[in-house]
Amino acid sequence: MKARTLELGLLILATLITGVGYVTVFTSQATEEVLSDVTFDLQGPVAGFLAVVLALLVGTHVVIRMVTPLADGMLFPSAAMLNGLGFVMITRLDEGLADSQSAWIFLGLGAFCLVLVVLRDPRRLERYRYSLAVLGVGLLLLPLVPGLGATINGARIWLRVGPISIQPGEFAKIVLAAFLAGYLVDKRELLTLTGSRIGPLHVPAVRHFGPLLLAWGVALMVMIAQRDLGSSLLFFTLFLVMIYVATSRAAYVFLGLFMFSIGAVVAWRAFGHVQNRVDVWLDPFTDAKGNGFQIAEAAFALADGGVTGTGLGQGTPKKIPYAATDMIFAAFGEELGLLGATAILVTFMFFVASGFRVATNARSPFEKLLAAGLTSLLGFQAFIIIGGILRVLPLTGVTLPFVSYGGSSLISNYIILGILVRISHNSVVQAVAEQEANARSSDGVRVGSEARADWQAIGS
């Protein structure tokens, strides 16, 4: 139970940090003339806010303690810290969005607990790998259906259901990760065999590699048709990481990078908005009041933040377009500075390291691949959006996991977290069972040897 004790302590710490941030934002938005009155009036709202946050986190902790008591103790606290900091910044940027985000957090935690209770053995998903492939591609196609799909900010990736907009692609990536894990476990040995050569690279026969490549190609084509190249890059990364983990062959990495280069050039030539993003990436200040306005404002915000930041509520991150979604890391960089931004990066590193530890300790190949794929999804998603803000990469518009505003993204991230926690717990249970079986086997051998020695002594 040491993991649960560690988890509870870290959750209390996350609650305190979130509460301090919430109070700081709330008070900074008040005028100096009424600051003393606001401080008095805050006692009720702040106490209520802290009580709700603590109740949600401790309630979820109780579910983990009851259902998966042997799971890793760092996964959920890392996600809770990121989610709490994100909620504080969203509150600072737009209180209306904060109200919606609070509802999504509640639903996300509910989905997390539901996964822990329902998905007792993730290995069962391996049986339905081809059904999962069809389901995943179907989810990607939904926004293209007339009357259901909606185009928002130039990307047709939304499914509108009454007043609610949902991104099916956020859930498709989980389904396709399960398909890839199941397929690669089944075909892993065949994929390591040499079937033909492409230049200096040895590749397997097309009949073994074809179905996997087809599913990956369909997913990417759908994403390109929806003009959501950020998700296309995520799916490509998922494909490349999982096939490398399954086969340990560097040839797949080089072949994948070659394919990505071709796809990037084709996308750059085919889509005007891709050309604009590349131009803005290279030099946003040539059109700082036009296409480069978002990146330029993010750069100014990071520069204003310096090392320690302007302080929560003291900067001007609202000037950045889509600050609560695409550019929330720039808002943190301005108001918390280099130190605060680094703290967020370190928290992501803790989460990713814990996820890969779960993959390493998993007892079944399917769970290893699934955990590695899902962890890579969240890790590379964070890298892609932060890299875009820092101009390491062209800006793609994906959200920062657990931090940015967005219901579909937040719920899917909590589902991924639930799968990782479940695999972590099951791995420990299976390891203990194997040790007990080995101990019984050793005892049986020892008892048998002693019996044979006794019979030999009697016979002599």
63-77, 105-119, 188-202, 368-382, range with the lowest pLDDT = 188-202
Predicted local confidence at residue 36, as pLDDT: 47
Residue 18 or residue 217, greater confidence: 18
Predicted local confidence at residue 212, as pLDDT: 62
Predicted local confidence at residue 174, as pLDDT: 94
Nearest-5° Cα angle at 105, 104 to 111: 85
Structure tokens at 163: 């007043």
* 3 state DSSP class of 78: helix
CB 184 within 8 A of CB 177: no
Sequence-separated (6 or more) residues with CB below 8 Å from residue 208: 187, 190, 191, 193, 195
Would you say residue 447 has pLDDT above 70?
A: no
- Classify residue 282: in a domain, yes or no: yes
Sequence-separated (6 or more) residues with CB below 8 Å from residue 28: 311, 312, 313, 314
- Classify residue 450: in a domain, yes or no: no
Would you say residue 104 has pLDDT above 90?
A: yes
Residue 76 or residue 262, greater confidence: 76
Average pLDDT rounded to a whole number, residues 332-343: 95
Rounded CA separation 281/296 (Å): 10
Q: Which band of pLDDT confidence, cut at 50, 70 and 90, is reported for residue 220?
A: low
- Classify residue 459: in a domain, yes or no: no
- Classify residue 348: in a domain, yes or no: yes
Would you say residue 236 has pLDDT above 90?
A: no
Would you say residue 354 has pLDDT above 90?
A: yes
| Sheet with 155-161, edge to edge strand ranges | 149-152, 155-161, 164-166
CB 369 within 8 A of CB 242: yes
- Classify residue 214: in a domain, yes or no: yes
* 3 state DSSP class of 160: strand
Rounded CA separation 329/404 (Å): 8
Average pLDDT rounded to a whole number, residues 210-235: 69
Integer Rg of the chain from CA: 25
147-156, 312-321, 424-433, range with the lowest pLDDT = 147-156
Predicted local confidence at residue 32, as pLDDT: 41
Q: Which band of pLDDT confidence, cut at 50, 70 and 90, is reported for residue 2?
A: confident
Query: Beta-carbon neighbour count of residue 262 at 10 Å?
Result: 10
Residue 244 or residue 445, greater confidence: 244
Would you say residue 41 has pLDDT above 70?
A: no
Burial class from Cβ neighbours inside 10 Å (0-12, 13-18, 19+) for residue 302 reads buried
Exposure pattern of 199-233 as b/e (b: 16+ CB <10 Å)?
eeeebbeeebbeebeebbeebbebbbebbbbbbbb
Predicted local confidence at residue 245, as pLDDT: 87
Rounded CA separation 332/413 (Å): 21
- Classify residue 317: in a domain, yes or no: yes
Predicted local confidence at residue 31, as pLDDT: 47
Average pLDDT rounded to a whole number, residues 79-84: 95
- Give residue 182's domain range: 2-441
C-alpha separations of 65 from 55, 173, 214, 406, 421 in Å: 15, 28, 42, 28, 11
pTM: 0.89
Rounded CA separation 332/85 (Å): 9
Query: Beta-carbon neighbour count of residue 5 at 10 Å?
Result: 11
In whole numbers, what is the pLDDT of the chain averaged over residues? 83
- Classify residue 448: in a domain, yes or no: no
Predicted local confidence at residue 421, as pLDDT: 97
- Classify residue 454: in a domain, yes or no: no
Predicted local confidence at residue 167, as pLDDT: 87
27-36, 184-193, 440-449, range with the lowest pLDDT = 27-36
Predicted local confidence at residue 131, as pLDDT: 92
Residue 166 or residue 164, greater confidence: 166
CB 399 within 8 A of CB 385: yes
Predicted local confidence at residue 265, as pLDDT: 79
69-78, 106-115, 379-388, 432-441, range with the lowest pLDDT = 432-441
DSSP 96-127: HHHHHHHHHHHHHHHHHHHHHHH-S-GGGGGG
Would you say residue 377 has pLDDT above 60?
A: yes
Predicted local confidence at residue 30, as pLDDT: 60
Predicted local confidence at residue 410, as pLDDT: 94
Domain count, the chain: 1
Q: Which band of pLDDT confidence, cut at 50, 70 and 90, is reported for residue 240?
A: confident
